[in-house]
Amino acid sequence: MEEILKKVETFKVPLVEITGGEPLMQEDVYPLMNSLLEKGYQVMLETGGSLSIDRVPEKIIKILDIKCPGSGEELKNHLENLKLLSPHDEIKFVLLDRSDYEWSRDLMQKLKLPSSAQILFSPVYDKLKLKDLSKWILEDQLPVRLQTQLHKVIWSKNTIGV
């Protein structure tokens, strides 16, 4: 952990995001989050949403994925996590197609989202056009933010480590 903290310090940035695979599967992520907070960093955690976030410190900005049917993983959603979110947290839906959009829109209404956090709608890269998704959001006047994977736009979809 000391090695990670020293490396983070070399970047001289105030914000650290913990992501990749599923960070909550690693027990060491909890002391890492606490250490980063103690050192004064703003910390974000991106999680797939299948594991409980009940041990994640309140100050951490949680980005909680809700898996849509197009992913084939919607049964893994741990929806109890929604009760643990704060207004500074985010809920992210990654949408494959119109069907995923409608499912997400309907789930938002059923669960009365976004009362607990900000909502992000992100298209699956190279599968759903940003223009189409933005049109649907505007037509339905959904209270969501449109998001895309900018690193894939700036570099390429195959670039890693940026």
Q: Give a yes or no: residue 162 inside a domain.
A: no
Three-class SS state of 53:
coil
Q: Give a yes or no: residue 100 inside a domain.
A: yes
Query: Within the chain, which residues score under 70 in pLDDT?
Result: 161-162
CATH of the domain at 43: 3.80.30.10
11, two tokens: 């970047």
Structural domain containing residue 79: 2-154
Three-class SS state of 47:
strand
- Specify the pTM: 0.90
pLDDT of 108 reads: 95
pLDDT of 162 reads: 64
